[in-house]
Structure 1
């Protein structure tokens, strides 16, 4: 199954594109987390074996925490990321794109008991292949989605870096387009930047290189810059 994009709309009318992760990167992230948990368990078992029955009791508690508490605590404390997900640039978010909450993290991870049936995460894999955004049963019940983390590209410095209000009011989708231009501009040639900036010359009141500079300023203004 290929990764797909889920588009959701905020109450403000802004469209958010959430690049949903498919089964393969999620499985790799899970394997990394499994290796970490096994490493911790192996290291601690050597010491706990010296404590006799008390060590066995502590070992069982540690095993429970690593199996069930590890993903819940990581996702709740670290903005939806376990070490495995962080290594693969994945994150758990709510289905509307908001950060995942504690309740959702608990529900999606406790329902792994169902996703693991009958063995090897068979139910979860089948559900993920059938769902258009690769969600397993735990995600469907908890209202969550695993997405690829998109790198935040800082706005390039333009002129004095001032924020410039628009000459005309912009609709939400136009605001998104201006911010997207500023984020992607470093990957464009200067000629292409000017070509795109000329299209919105009525908004910036300038063309050419000055239009590009003013468009950066409008993007800063839309993002709350001063």
Structure 2
């Protein structure tokens, strides 16, 4: 994955297209362009048979420039970086900041592509793409663009366990605005994979995440609430607020379903990361003392079993 930073300082994770897929897309574009060039040339030769050689040569040059240079530039500009070959291969040309390209980007790519693709049969473009860490050819370097993959394999998503029923709505007044996105990702990753962790390690990780969330909300974890149950309830509350903000206050009458989170792209496997995702560190308020046991004094089950 390649991390791009937008003008609003938002990090985007895009998958750059590699040489095989880009070569196939260019080949498809060239086949279509050459076929159109041959058909138009035959028609123009028949239509300009009465002209002299200089006029016919000028017409052939204009046809070459319009169909093999101008047409790809126009197509990429109007389609925002998706030519016919890129559409078939699931690719798109974007700016370095992840935004859609404009005419100037397509113009630079098209003019330099004449040299590195048409005149050298793609040798220069292949070498530049292999040398670049993001698979960029010279046209991309000078235009400030990047070819990315739009269609990626769907990864299985993790299941977010719901909180115990007796915690539903308990954190509706909690201020969640100061919790950074990196911490939310870490909490969600833990909840989806806590059954795969060692009980002792998972419990310690839950306590650490619960303390971090409580420190940023300014409200300590309620006494007697297990950290895993607290994290699940807070995540559900945040999800419910997102749904209400997106569809209106009347869209959600109770706890939000877990489908919106399940439809998001899956996090990378936890085992592949030595630590939880990093997030912006802020001064943490000391969390309140919590009992070491799970006894809550409430006969109803919590749904989470502490380690033995």
Q: Check if 1:95 corresponds to 2:96.
A: yes
Q: Matches of residues 74-153 of structure 1 in structure 2 within 5 Å?
A: 74-116=75-117, 119-150=120-151
Alpha-carbon separation, structure 2, partners of 1:32 and 1:69: 17
Alpha-carbon separation, structure 2, partners of 1:50 and 1:59: 12
Higher helix share: 1
Q: Check if 1:26 corresponds to 2:58.
A: no
Which residue of structure 2 aligns with residue 171 of structure 1? 180
Which residue of structure 1 aligns with residue 68 of structure 2? 67
Deviations along 1:43-102, whole A, 9 cap, x unmatched? Answer: 223332321155945444222111111221111100111111111111000011011121
Contact 1:168 1:203 in 2 (8 A): no
Going from structure 1 to structure 2, the CA distance change for 1:45 and 1:98 (only over 3 Å counts) comes to same
Alpha-carbon separation, structure 1, partners of 2:138 and 2:116: 6
Any gaps of 5 or more consecutive residues in structure 2? 155-171, 196-227, 249-308
Alpha-carbon separation, structure 2, partners of 1:76 and 1:68: 13
Alpha-carbon separation, structure 1, partners of 2:243 and 2:43: 55
Which residue of structure 2 aligns with residue 160 of structure 1? none
Alpha-carbon separation, structure 1, partners of 2:100 and 2:88: 19
Alpha-carbon separation, structure 2, partners of 1:37 and 1:131: 27
Contact 1:166 1:204 in 2 (8 A): no
TM-score of the superposition, structure 2-length normalised?
0.52
Equivalent residue in structure 1 for 2:11, among 11, 15, 28: 15
Contact 1:117 1:123 in 2 (8 A): no
Partner of 1:7, secondary structure, is: strand
Any gaps of 5 or more consecutive residues in structure 1? 154-163, 182-187, 192-196, 206-213
1:109 Cα deviation after fit = 1.6
Contact 2:2 2:14 in 1 (8 A): yes
1:41 Cα deviation after fit = 2.0
Equivalent residue in structure 2 for 1:37, among 33, 37, 53: 33
Partner of 2:125, secondary structure, is: helix
Q: Matches of residues 174-193 of structure 1 in structure 2 within 5 Å?
A: 177=185
Partner of 2:75, secondary structure, is: helix
Deviations along 1:143-179, whole A, 9 cap, x unmatched? Answer: 100001147x9xxxxxxxxxx998622424467x59x
Deviations along 1:101-123, whole A, 9 cap, x unmatched? Answer: 21111112211244249722222
Q: Check if 1:203 corresponds to 2:235.
A: yes
Going from structure 1 to structure 2, the CA distance change for 1:115 and 1:49 (only over 3 Å counts) comes to closer
Contact 1:166 1:218 in 2 (8 A): no
Alpha-carbon separation, structure 1, partners of 2:35 and 2:101: 27
Alpha-carbon separation, structure 1, partners of 2:134 and 2:3: 11
The structure having more radius of gyration, on CA atoms, is 2
Partner of 1:100, secondary structure, is: coil
1:9 Cα deviation after fit = 2.6
Which residue of structure 2 aligns with residue 6 of structure 1? 2
Going from structure 1 to structure 2, the CA distance change for 1:101 and 1:225 (only over 3 Å counts) comes to farther
Going from structure 1 to structure 2, the CA distance change for 1:221 and 1:93 (only over 3 Å counts) comes to farther
